[in-house]
Amino acid sequence: MVNLRTFQLSCKLFWGYRTTLDLDYFDSTNQIIAAIQSRLENYLKNANLICLAEELEKIKFHSPSIETILLEYQPTDTVYVCDHCHDCCGEKKRENCNNSIHNSIHNTVSRS
């Protein structure tokens, strides 16, 4: 059975980058994040956007756990992969985080 999920980056530099992954091939959130970063890095390098590829290497992303994705998200939902901390991502919220992109996107309905 195919277990496809759509992932979208939620960060200032790469907000909106989307990719679809089959979760049957992943055992952890770290593997999912590595696959997303690898796909984006390949895209950037193929487009000769080397400076952006270098910036991507500096970003530490996180997302909901693979268990949460499998149990609580519908296949049509978008799973956000963030570079900042918020409760909706399973990470503790930073008191000084004023990421308006994240707040506007995650405070709206992200599920179909």
Does residue 112 form part of some domain? Answer: no
Q: Is residue 111 part of a domain?
A: no
Q: Report yes or no on 80 lying in a domain.
A: yes
Question: Mind listing the pLDDT tens digit for each residue in 20-33?
Answer: 999 999 999 999 99
Does the residue 34 lie in any domain?
A: yes
Exposed/middle/buried for residue 56 (C-beta within 10 Å: 0-12, 13-18, 19+)? buried
Q: How many domains does the chain have?
A: 1
Residue 78 lies in a domain: yes
Q: Is residue 45 part of a domain?
A: yes
**Position 82 in a domain:** yes
Residue 36: is its pLDDT beyond 60?
yes
Q: For residue 12, give its domain range.
A: 4-106
At 84 the pLDDT is 75
Question: Is 70 contained in some domain?
Answer: yes
CB atoms within 10 A of CB 79: 20
Could you read off the pLDDT of 49-108 as tens digits, one per residue?
999 999 999 999 999 999 999 999 999 999 999 997 555 555 444 444 444 444 444 444
